[in-house]
Structure 1
Amino acid sequence: MSKQTYKVCFCFQRRFHVTVSEAPADIKSLFQEYSENGIMTVDHLHRFLIDVQKEPKATKEEAQAIIDNLHLNIFHRKAFNLEGFFKYLFGVGNPLSPSREAHHNMSAPLSHYFIYTGHNSYLTGNQLNSDCSDAPIIQALKRGVRVIELDIWPNSKKDNVDVLHGGTLTTPVELIKCLRSIKEHAFVASEYPVVITLEDHLTPDLQAKVAEMLIQTFGEILFTPGSECLKEFPSPEFLKKRIIISTKPPKEYLESKNVKEKENDAQKGKGSSDEEAWGKEVPNLKAVTGAHEKDGLDEENNDDDDLDEKSQPNIAPEYKNLIAIHAGKPKGGLTECLKVDPNKVRRLSLSEQQLEDAVGTYGKNIVRFTQRNILRVYPKGIRVDSSNYNPLIGWSHGAQMVAFNMQGYGRSLWLMHGMFRANGGCGYVKKPDFLVNAGPHNEVFDPSVKFPVKKTLKVTVYMGEGWYFDFRHTHFDAYSPPDFYTRVGIAGVPADTIMKKTKTLEDNWVPAWNEEFEFPLTIPELALLRIEVHEYDMSEKDDFGGQTCLPVSELRSGIRAVPLHDRKGEQYKSVKLLMRFEFI
């Protein structure tokens, strides 16, 4: 028995020794092609940058800087050996993204951009009984989120304003605390404007108090267009470092009795029947108020955007004058909601289910609406766990504000992170021209049409490393090194969406797959490259080993180091893949 125990311990120690990273065969071949006698000079590296990395504007000075920045030993400071070349390819000096600065045209109207948008931005967890706090708001702003949603209600004494998820057990947080945190952190990650969407359940006197809070907190950085609707939205460039308020124009306050009646209607089961009500002819948006037991109510409280001033005798004018992006749903169903007014712009909100049910009949109308106006999409009510939905449906129809629960994690949220890694992570991504421009006969893009392949992305997954340093050595398997495989694929329009996987490599902390995949793309402008690493487990669910999602439009051709992130989107210190990207 003692002999057998000794043998197991011996294997345990031997098998957990990490393998030293070694350049894959393809990398060795490239080094031989672009070197002489085992040495890659500045001239060789310069040619490699142009030919393989597809950097036609690369200079010899830049090639020299790459060599200088690697801090190689004294014998190789003016050139690379194979080890130095491999270190460069797999290092921080070979970034995946072309720029960390905003580089899209930022002078178009706000409606021409996808905007990083949060839903119930104040919740720390689920939608029913988590805490309300300014902490998730701060975290979202630091990540680059540009649209913060606050549900505002009278406090228990009816003399001040709280932020909470109405009709639930969520604990409130004071509005003023949220506003102060927004001011402090609004422009830490990006200098482009922050939009605050208010779901308003206030009396006129409290609306006036909110106006006072907004003015005192934000002062000159608050964008105040006055009482009239904008004829066209300003640009992100014009609105740099400004705060924008978006909500429905205030109307005569609905007493709590009426609110409770609607809330009860939603909770009695009418909320679950919205799919049938919406899916046929969409006769009136009031028929689907229950899609979200809270959000459906919020969205429908004031469902007519164009009420006569005479019907609003008690409104707070100072509050109304702060609203830059007017929201609301005109009466008359989706046909009326999607009408484009040449004299004003506005914001329309639809639940994810309402959008999904509408695109079959109204797809082109939605695209035309979003060329000038803003469409906000929010999660349906059954997502009480703060999960999310497929954002590509909204984006492919031009929806600017695809609102997500940022406090959770999951593949849908990874796609959101991926989309807004574009344009330097500034929170605004310019929509493709086909979503903002009409054709010569006023025709618009039809998302339901399957287009021919425009380009093909070829991806090579060479190898990965870093798990040995970022994970406990028994995290994946108690008795042996992990068995990794990589999933790689595209999230995009339905014709482009696919996932593929490498073989599983057993017992290796530094797996080298060396596998190629090709992805034909019909709408590459909306495509996201999904990358996940998992560890195969025969008896249980495969273990998670890292992920990232990247906008195909910003992929740099060539051999690149690709950092991986954890489930919540935080980048690991060491875990990364070596990959090659080519456009055919």
Structure 2
Amino acid sequence: MSCLCLLWWAYQKLKIKHGMFAFEFLRTMLYFLFVMTLFYAGSQGDDNLQAMLVGAMMRKIKSRNWKKQRYFKLEDDFMTIWYQSKKAVSVNDVEAVREGHQSEVLLSIADEFPPDRCFTLVFRGRRGNLDLVAESAEEAQSWIWGMRKLIENVENMGEREKLDQWIGEWFKKADKNNDGRMNFKEVQDLLKMMNVDMNEHHAHHLFTMADKSQSGTLENDEFVLFYKMLTQREDVLKVFQEYSDGQKLSQSNLEDFLREEQLEGGDIQLHAKQLIECYEPSDKAKRMNAMTFDGFLMYLGSAEGSIFNPQRRGIFQDMTQPLCHYFISSSHNTYLMEDQLRGQSSVEGYIRALNRGCRCVEVDCWDGANGEPIVYHGHTFTSKILFKDVVSAVGNYAFKVSQYPVILSIENHCSVEQQRVMAHHLNHILGDRLLKTILDGKTPIRLPSPEDLKGKILVKAKKDGGLEQSLSGVSGCRLHSNDYLHSVSYFIYPLCFSQKSKQRLSKELSDCVVYCKSVHFTSFKHSRIHSKFYEVASFTESKARKHLREAGAEFVHHNSRQLSRVYPSGFRTDSSNFNPQEMWNAGCQIVALNFQTAGEGMDVNDGLFSQNGCCGYVLKPSFMREADIRFDPEMPQKRDDYHPVVLTIQVISGQQLPKVNIKEDSIVDPLVRVEVHGVPMDQAKQETRYIENNGFNPMWYDTLHFTIHTPELAMVRFVVEDYDKTSKNDFVGQYTLPLSCMQQGYRHIHLLSKDGTSIPPSSLFCGS
């Protein structure tokens, strides 16, 4: 009740001071009343959150031998959990809560602590999990359900609420003595923390204007006013004034803007009406069928106003074509969490990849102790995990984010005896989800579609014979050449693999392979004459480049009929990635990357698969699917339907860019680089100038032009860097998307961190 009284008092106070702007300011105050309104009110009847506010002693577990007692407590902001002398966990960073022994660390102490006392906080990006053991099952449940409630609250927050939360976090950082107000020195420190190098006289002028009580400090509502003056969006106001009467956009004005600037089609009248209803905060303006500047700003900052076309977020492509007609999100050395020489192997690698929409994971299998096959990077110092644990993880997480098929790419180095164990685990753990037979009982002539294979797990491995023999019941145990050897093994142990080893293949494991039989690649001519549609060849990145360079059109044609897998060179001992774009240019479907390694390669991969429901399958362009078309990525202008496009991007401004240097007085000098990734003729990058000492609201108004010859394959990557005259620029943020998913007009680009996670409210404002 006191919360409502405070809200009413704030409204009356603002109404007296600011008249018509009271409602607008009241909305902006939402964060500061966040605890008392949204979270606190919701927690009054929530015993779990109340228990978290009191706090609890729990064991933090890092390994079987590292178990430390720590006091964990939810802060009053309902957004932060403190433990061990000011270490903090932000609710924003927590992706999920797992109950019980659902991590390797907790499994290792399963004999010591029961599952009902154990839980895991899973963080976004590549940050390690936090494994905890509560003192009782009841306490564990309180924290599990409480955390899930907090995560749900964050996910349900609107853009304005997220911004208010961000403002409040900065207020708390700057309010050093926690008295709920800020003096001018604290405001100056805050500006530096927020990437603003503002003239002291101008900063003091804004401070004085906001200090309505003339107390020499800013209280909550006064700080909101100060922030609003600080963040005046002159760039957006300029656009708004071109179409409005200065105060509001009529529905007709908004329709003109959508038609002329945003280049939208369809029912513009209906769309304008919907935008007003959805984003306009003023009921008075809504009744007038109009949009104020605040509503206009909220629309441009929303998903509808972003550069990514929301109509391409969900599944919009034809999913009934053969598997070979799709690019497939694929992982290399999926079990690794770090580098491929000494890194940790973990089932967590499979969980994270699958939760990111990956649809093809790699399993390197070797003979292990006690008859149990193990998974690790052979002949290196990487740690080892059990094959059966990998299969369990895949079974549990394969279809959490996508129902389309998962391919287990198995590199088999096991004896026949342990191959039989592998087959047993696949059958026993996966059950009906494991595809063991062809779909209709008849000899197929092409690969089935993702739609046909929904909910199925396919094994890609060596197979004795083919589908034809399987149907006729002919199968056996033969000698096979183990033609796949990691090139890293040649690099480190040249004497160990001087000859190709001979390996017997068990019938049980062979029978697990249906549509993805691993074969050695001889030549495109040989494949054209002899290869079957269900045969899959693997190429190192260097071999794939060689084929692409020497016979690009043949490579594309080969991939219109059957699957190809490309994986990173073994010389990438740091588990770095190549750019997958060059392999997609050849139509290669299974372009496997080290998902644990952030950087350009994963940015481009994430960008391609951010469309079509993030389901892990993206339909290739028609000229890469049709057998009677010869597309050469080196000469795209020879296409019959060759239509180059000109991409013009005006980089207008940036908003609240993150700091890259932990020093408080360090402020970024941002520049924006726009990269086009596509066929060789389309590879290009251009940069804006850098803006000195302003990461808060830099303005560029720089225009960049690109000619794109194969727009269907082009990816566009926006990169923000901190310019440095004497050393390499520091990464600030990026965003990558397919050209085909870009919306035209004035759009915001919501930046992502190096790990690919969102960093609100950091964004770019561009026109195209």
TM range (shorter): 0.7 to 0.9
Instruction: Check conservation: 2:463, 2:511, Cα contact below 8 A.
Output: no
* 1:454 aligned onto 2:644: yes
> Superposed, which structure 2 residues align to 1:402-417 within 5 Å?
402-417=591-606
Alpha-carbon distance between aligned partners in 2 of 1:340 and 1:372, rounded to the nearest angstrom: 12
Match of 1:177 among 369, 389, 406: 389
Q: Tell me which of 635, 660, 674 is aligned to 1:488.
A: 674
- Partner of 1:339: helix, strand, or coil? helix
Q: Is the 8 A contact 2:436 2:514 kept in 1?
A: yes
Query: SS at the partner of 2:302?
Result: coil
Listed one character per residue, the Cα deviations across residues 109-159 of structure 1 (whole Å, up to 9, x for unaligned) are 0000010010010101000111111101111111111101001111133x1
Q: How does 1:120-269 map to 2 (within 5 A)?
A: 120-157=333-370, 159-225=371-437, 231-249=445-463, 252=478, 267=492
SS in structure 2 of the partner of residue 445 of structure 1: coil
Q: Which residue of 1 aligns with 2:584?
A: 395
Cα gap change, 1:268 to 1:44, in 2 (>3 Å)? same
Q: 2:731 is matched by which residue type in structure 1? A: F
Structure 1 pair 9/537, CA: closer, same or farther in 2 (3 Å)?
farther
Change (3 A) 1:59 1:154: same
Quote the residue 2:230 is aligned against.
Answer: 20
1:557–1:264 CA distance, 2 compared to 1 (3 A): closer
2:271 pairs with 1:62: yes
Between stretches 318-327 and 508-517, larger displacement belongs to 318-327
3-state DSSP class of the match of 2:254?
helix
User: Does 2:508 correspond to 1:318?
Assistant: yes
Gaps spanning 5+ residues in structure 2: where? Answer: 1-183, 197-228, 465-476
| Residue 342 of structure 1, CA deviation | 7.2
Contact kept in structure 1, 2:280 and 2:292, CA below 8 Å = no
Residue from 378, 383, 395 that aligns with 2:567: 378
Query: What SS does the corresponding residue of 1:327 show, helix, strand or coil?
Result: strand
Deviation, structure 1 residue 84: 2.6
Instruction: Find the partner of 1:82 among 267, 290, 293.
Output: 293
Whole-Å separation in 2 of the counterparts to 1:58 and 1:341 = 53
Q: Call closer, same or farther: CA 1:228–1:149 in 2, change over 3 Å.
A: farther
Task: Using structure 1 for the length normalisation, give the TM-score.
Answer: 0.82
Query: Residue 481 of structure 1: SS of its match in structure 2?
Result: coil
The one-letter amino acid paired with 2:233 is A
Equivalent-residue separation in structure 2 for 1:112 and 1:214 (angstroms): 27
* Kept after mapping to 2: 8 A contact 1:455/1:522: yes
Q: Any conservation in 2 of the 1:152–1:164 contact (CA below 8 Å)?
A: yes
* 2: CA distance, partners of 1:15 / 1:202: 59
Task: Check the 8 A contact 2:648/2:705 in 1, yes or no.
Answer: yes
Whole-angstrom distance in 1 between the partners of 2:455 and 2:232 = 47
Could you tell me how far apart the structure 2 residues matched to 1:337 and 1:215 are? 34
Partners in 2 of 1:485 and 1:267 — Cα distance? 41
Q: AA paired with 1:510? A: N
Q: Within 2, Cα distance between the matches of 1:94 and 1:568?
A: 24
Deviation readout 1:185-230 (Å, 9 max, x if unpaired): 1122211111111001122222222222112222222222269986
Instruction: Output the CA distance in 2 between the equivalents of 1:423 and 1:406.
Output: 20
Residue 383 of structure 2 aligns with an amino acid whose one-letter code is T
Q: Which residue is equivalent to 2:310?
A: 98
Residue in structure 2 matched with residue 113 of structure 1 by the alignment: 326
TM-score (norm 2): 0.64
CA distance in 2, matches of 1:74, 1:317: 71
Instruction: Give 1:219's aligned amino acid.
Output: G
Q: Distance in 1 between matches of 2:384 and 2:186?
A: 54
CA RMSD of aligned residues (A): 3.2
2:659, 2:667 within 8 Å by CA — same for their partners in 1?
no
Residues 253 and 341 of structure 1, relative CA distance in 2, 3 Å threshold: closer
Shift of 1:69: 2.7
Structure-2 separation of matches of 1:448 and 1:111: 21
* SS of the residue 1:515 aligns to: strand
User: Which residue number in structure 1 is paired with residue 756 of structure 2?
Assistant: 569
Structure-2 change in CA distance of 1:337 and 1:327 (3 Å): farther
Partners of 1:514 and 1:344 lie apart in 2 by: 52
Please tell me the residue identity of whatever aligns with 2:384. P
Q: In structure 1, what is the Cα distance between the partners aligned to 2:457 and 2:655?
A: 43
Question: What is the CA distance between 1:41 and its match in structure 2?
Answer: 2.2
Shift of the 9–182 alpha-carbon distance from structure 1 to 2, 3 Å rule, reads closer
Task: Write out aligned runs for 1:327-346 (5 A).
Answer: 327-330=517-520, 333-335=522-524, 338-341=527-530, 344-346=533-535
CA 30–156 in structure 1, closer or farther in 2 if over 3 Å, else same: same
Gap regions ≥5 residues in structure 1: 1-6, 272-288, 291-296, 303-311
Match of 1:31 in 2: 240
Match of 1:579 in 2: 766
- Counting aligned pairs with the same residue, the percent is 28
Query: Taking structure 1 as reference, are residues 329 and 211 closer, same or farther at Cα in structure 2, changes over 3 Å only?
Result: closer
Taking a change above 3 Å as real, the CA distance of residues 516 and 229 of structure 1, as seen in their structure-2 partners, is farther
Aligned pairs (5 A) from 1:359-378: 359-378=548-567
Native 8 Å contact 2:410 2:459 kept in 1: yes
Instruction: Give, in angstroms, the shift of residue 326 of structure 1.
Output: 3.5
Distance 1:375 1:486 in 2: 36
Corresponding letter in the other structure for 2:556: V
How many angstroms apart in 2 are the aligned matches of 1:326 and 1:88? Answer: 47
With 396-405 and 454-463 compared, the bigger mean Cα shift is at: 454-463
Of structures 1 and 2, the one with the larger relative CO (CA 8 A, separation 6+) is 1
Aligned partner (choices 250, 260, 275) of residue 41 of structure 1: 250
SS in 1 for 2:429: helix
Letter in 1 for 2:673: R
Question: Which digits, 9 at most, give the CA deviation of each residue in 1:487-524, with x for residues without a partner?
Answer: 11201111111111111112221112122211110011
CA distance in 2, matches of 1:421, 1:580: 22
Aligned to 1:433: 622
Structure 1 217/58 Cα, relative in aligned 2: closer, same or farther at 3 Å?
A: farther
